[in-house]
């Protein structure tokens, strides 16, 4: 079988490096991230491995089931790459979608020398295939830990329309490093789910500022939930991916001990804070209320002053 | 079966498992004498940052104490705790941290066995029961990804329609039977037989810690494509070096 | 779900050498088109899978118009439709042909 190029429409502007990650499709992100012409897809759309379950709900399937997996080169070095299409079924994990990523992670585990990039854009488990999606997430998590024990770096990139929610956020928590943009959100329960279950006083899902303060990229950077905050551009994500592939020690008990301490410390410092503004103030940010409006460059400088990033505790 | 009864049946020679605010901790021993570290979540307690960090520490402590006996994870939880505070503090990291502790313990020789005896859902289910190597359930266990009424709200399909569709596929609706069909639950135990014997049988000769859930799901026809797709991707990825 | 299939003879073969291309996404009001250079001569085929049943006549007209305008000879175009309007369908079909006719990058 020969490698095929899948061309995509809506080619980015004449400055592809500055193209928005958020606005791009999964395939555009892969093409912009990797060295030109280096991407080779596994089980591409022409294989027509559709979801066997969506038809029961009279829902249209997508040829790649919203998960694109393959390999390519990043600044000359081989990488495995997986990208979720957030506009198809909310990027959610179904049987085939999940299995493609499971297989790729297992390959990374077995190869041991090729890092893995996961481009998250997901609302979590696909409800129409809930049980298959849920167990797939658990399989992926286990495979990632097996891969990391073998020395593989698994870098997650978060900045798409669907965010990184539900089971996706748990997979992200198994990665060796994460990069997030302002648009990115990382959370287990989504805003609507919290509001439906606990009421609008607990969480007003329509309050966008609240959503971003609580789950968004800037907050995750300030609280130490991610390793890098990046501008919403292809080049920023690429630079972060290159950097994060090299960062951090091999996974093991020491890393988990360090993470235990990191998370216990977080609870001790911020466990009684009512809102992100209180967390940021406690963390040493002078003008917390001004953080959401800060442009990326200034925010990154502020965040670096307030909290240096540890890469050995994830 | 009540939790007390379950523990008594699992450990006829005694145990010291305590329940502190829904978090279980203690130990017992197998019939062959090997110690069993016990952790878990009881009373349908939601798992938030406060619960996850404690249970994770227990797993780590059990591993640090040494030995090669299994770690038994008893599960009767709610879903993850749904609150502003828990998400503010980064619940995803706490749940992943718990999962990683369980997964690492198993990969380093402490066979993790999950026993689902009540409820569990969503992120809590993933971080506990689904992060063990071997998951079994007692009759009456009722795991779910999401309850049907909530699913109805989100998918905008009526409850009747969902219940009707659930008759023809195990792939989405709650229940141990369905979740077993996709390969996630190895077996439902016989509550009228010795639980100690059933536990002993699970951990005998259990050196193989590979994840076979997708193959089980294929054999049970709950997940017809996953195992083959995963293996095809793995093969393609390794072949083109 | 409804599946439709239309076979035509185009005026000439589509240009370029790429074996396939993919445009679009299956989302509300959108569609994906997988285009493969797999048919002989000037034959072309458009296969559609859609949840919106009963619009055969509309699809037939859009496809016929597309074949007339774009001459997609040799191409098989496979559509997964998310409930797109006819003008969006026409756009994606045109984009698909343009995509497969482009030089490899």
Query: According to the model, what pLDDT value does residue A8 have?
Result: 43
- Residue A301 in domain: no
Query: How many CB pairs (< 8 A) connect A and C?
Result: 70
Query: According to the model, what pLDDT value does residue A310 have?
Result: 82
Sheet holding A154-158, edge to edge: A40-42, A67-74, A77-84, A116-120, A154-158, A177-181, A228-230
Query: According to the model, what pLDDT value does residue A309 have?
Result: 80
Compute the distance between CA of residue B80 and CA of residue B146 in angstroms, rounded to an integer. 11
In the predicted structure, residue A187 carries a pLDDT above the cut 90: yes
Best mutation target among C80, C81, C94 (most A Cβ atoms within 10 Å) is: C80
Q: Tell me the pLDDT band of A311, cut-offs 50, 70 and 90.
A: confident
- Residue A188 in domain: yes
Instruction: Classify burial at B149, counting beta carbons within 10 Å of its beta carbon; exposed 0-12, middle 13-18, buried 19 or more.
Output: exposed
Compute the distance between CA of residue A198 and CA of residue C100 in angstroms, rounded to an integer. 51
How far is the CA of B111 from the CAs of B35, B129, B211, in angstroms? 12, 13, 13
**CB-CB: which of C26, C50, C100 is closest to A62?**
C26
Query: According to the model, what pLDDT value does residue B125 have?
Result: 98
Query: According to the model, what pLDDT value does residue A15 have?
Result: 65
Cross-chain Cβ contact B233/A100 below 8 Å = yes
Query: According to the model, what pLDDT value does residue A1 have?
Result: 39
How close is the nearest chain B Cα to the Cα of A236, in Å?
24
Query: According to the model, what pLDDT value does residue A211 have?
Result: 98
Q: What is the SS3 assignment for B100? A: helix
Best mutation target among A2, A9, A31, A35 (most C Cβ atoms within 10 Å) is: A9
ipTM score over 0.85, yes or no: yes
In the predicted structure, residue B195 carries a pLDDT above the cut 90: yes
Tell me how many domains chain A contains. 1
Higher model confidence: residue A225 or residue B240? A225
In the predicted structure, residue B240 carries a pLDDT above the cut 60: yes
pLDDT, tens only, B11-43: 999 999 999 999 999 999 999 999 999 999 999
Cross-chain Cβ contact A260/B97 below 8 Å = yes
Largest CA distance in chain A: 58
- Residue A119 in domain: yes
Which residues in chain A (4-33) have CB-CB distances under 8 A to chain C? 4-9, 25, 27
* Residue A177: CATH number of its domain: 3.90.226.10
- Residue A72 in domain: yes
Domain that holds residue A158: 16-251
Q: What is the SS3 assignment for A221? A: helix
pLDDT, tens only, B76-101: 999 999 999 999 999 999 999 999 99
Chain A residue closest in CA terms to B125: A134
Domains, in order of start, for chain B: 3-239 (3.90.226.10)
Query: According to the model, what pLDDT value does residue A9 have?
Result: 43
- Residue A115 in domain: yes
- Residue A5 in domain: no
Taking residues A113-140, report their average pLDDT.
98
Residues of C in contact with A46 (CB under 8 A): 20, 34, 36
Which of B41, B43, B12, B5 lies closest to B29 in space, CA to CA?
B12
Q: Is A215 an 8 Å CB contact of chain B? A: yes
How close is the nearest chain C Cα to the Cα of A107, in Å?
26
Residue A113 near residue A72, CB atoms below 8 Å: no
Chain A residue closest in CA terms to C94: A9
Query: According to the model, what pLDDT value does residue A176 have?
Result: 98
Query: According to the model, what pLDDT value does residue B109 have?
Result: 94
**CB-CB: which of A8, A46, A88 is closest to C27?**
A88
pLDDT, tens only, B143-159: 999 999 999 999 999 99
The residues facing A165 across adjacent strands are A187
Query: According to the model, what pLDDT value does residue B113 have?
Result: 98
Cβ-based neighbours of A207, under 8 Å, separated by 6 or more:
none
- Residue A158 in domain: yes
Domain-by-domain residue ranges, chain C? Answer: 2-98
In the predicted structure, residue A14 carries a pLDDT above the cut 70: no
- Residue A258 in domain: no
Residues of C in contact with A67 (CB under 8 A): none
Query: According to the model, what pLDDT value does residue A6 have?
Result: 47
Residue B27 near residue B69, CB atoms below 8 Å: no
pLDDT, tens only, A157-182: 999 999 999 999 999 999 999 999 99
**CB-CB: which of A25, A36, A46 is closest to C25?**
A25
| pTM for the whole structure | 0.97
């Amino acid at each position: 079988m020969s490698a095929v190029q899948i061309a995509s429409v809506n080619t980015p502007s004449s400055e592809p490096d500055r193209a928005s990650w958020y606005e791009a499709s999964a395939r555009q992100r892969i093409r912009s991230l990797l060295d030109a012409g280096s991407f080779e897809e596994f089980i591409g759309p022409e294989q027509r491995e559709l979801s066997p379950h969506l038809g029961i709900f009279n829902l249209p399937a997508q040829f790649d089931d919203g998960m694109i997996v393959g390999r390519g080169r990043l600044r000359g070095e081989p990488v495995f790459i997986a990208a979720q299409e957030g506009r198809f079924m909310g990027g959610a994990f179904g049987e085939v979608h999940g299995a493609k990523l499971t297989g790729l992670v297992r390959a990374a585990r077995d190869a041991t020398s090729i890092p893995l990039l996961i481009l998250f854009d997901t609302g979590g488990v696909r409800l129409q295939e809930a049980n298959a999606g849920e167990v797939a997430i658990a399989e992926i998590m286990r495979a990632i830990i097996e891969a990391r024990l073998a020395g593989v770096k698994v870098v997650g990139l978060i900045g798409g329309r669907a965010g990184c929610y539900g089971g996706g956020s748990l997979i992200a928590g198994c990665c060796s490093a994460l990069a997030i943009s302002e648009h990115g959100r990382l959370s287990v329960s989504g805003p609507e789910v919290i509001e439906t279950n606990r009421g609008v006083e607990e969480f007003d899902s329509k309050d966008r500022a609240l959503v971003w303060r609580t789950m968004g990229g800037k907050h995750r950077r300030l609280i130490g939930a991610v390793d890098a905050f990046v501008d919403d551009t292809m080049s920023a994500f690429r630079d972060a991916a290159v950097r994060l592939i090299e960062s951090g020690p091999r996974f093991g008990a020491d890393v988990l001990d360090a993470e235990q301490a990191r998370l216990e410390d977080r609870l001790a410092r911020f466990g009684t804070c009512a809102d992100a503004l209180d967390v940021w103030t406690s963390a040493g940010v002078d003008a917390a209320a001004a953080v959401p409006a800060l442009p990326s460059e200034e925010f990154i400088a502020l965040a670096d002053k307030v909290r240096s990033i540890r890469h050995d505790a994830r | 079966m009540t939790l007390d009864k379950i523990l008594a049946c699992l450990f006829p020679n005694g145990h010291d498992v305590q329940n502190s605010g829904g978090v279980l901790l203690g130990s017992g021993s197998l019939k062959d004498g090997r110690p069993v570290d016990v952790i878990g979540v009881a009373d349908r307690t939601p798992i938030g940052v406060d619960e996850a960090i404690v249970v994770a520490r227990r797993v780590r402590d059990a591993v640090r104490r040494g030995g090669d006996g299994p770690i038994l994870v008893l599960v009767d939880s709610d879903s993850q705790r749904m609150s502003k505070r828990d998400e503010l503090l980064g619940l995803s990291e706490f749940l992943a941290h718990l999962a990683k502790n369980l997964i690492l313990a198993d990969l380093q020789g402490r066979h993790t066995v999950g026993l689902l005896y009540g409820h569990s859902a969503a992120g809590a289910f993933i971080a506990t029961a689904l992060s063990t190597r071997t998951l079994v359930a007692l009759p009456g266990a009722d795991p779910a990804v999401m309850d049907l009424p909530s699913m109805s709200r989100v998918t905008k399909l009526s409850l009747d329609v969902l219940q009707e569709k659930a008759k023809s596929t195990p792939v989405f609706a709650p229940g141990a039977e369905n979740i077993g069909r996709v390969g996630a639950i190895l077996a439902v135990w016989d509550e009228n037989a010795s639980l100690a014997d059933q536990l002993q049988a699970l951990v005998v000769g259990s050196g193989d810690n590979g994840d076979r859930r997708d193959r089980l799901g294929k054999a049970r026809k709950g997940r017809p494509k996953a195992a083959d797709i995963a293996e095809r991707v793995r093969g393609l990825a390794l072949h083109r070096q | 779900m409804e599946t439709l299939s239309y076979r035509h003879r185009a005026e000439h073969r589509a240009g370029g050498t790429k074996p396939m291309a993919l445009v679009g996404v299956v989302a509300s009001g959108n569609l994906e088109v997988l285009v493969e250079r797999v048919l002989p001569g000037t034959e072309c085929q458009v296969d559609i899978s859609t949840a919106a049943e009963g619009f055969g006549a509309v699809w037939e007209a859009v496809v016929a118009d597309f074949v007339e305008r774009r001459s997609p000879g040799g191409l098989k175009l496979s559509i997964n439709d998310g409930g797109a309007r006819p003008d969006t369908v026409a756009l994606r079909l045109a984009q698909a042909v343009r995509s497969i006719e482009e030089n490899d990058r």
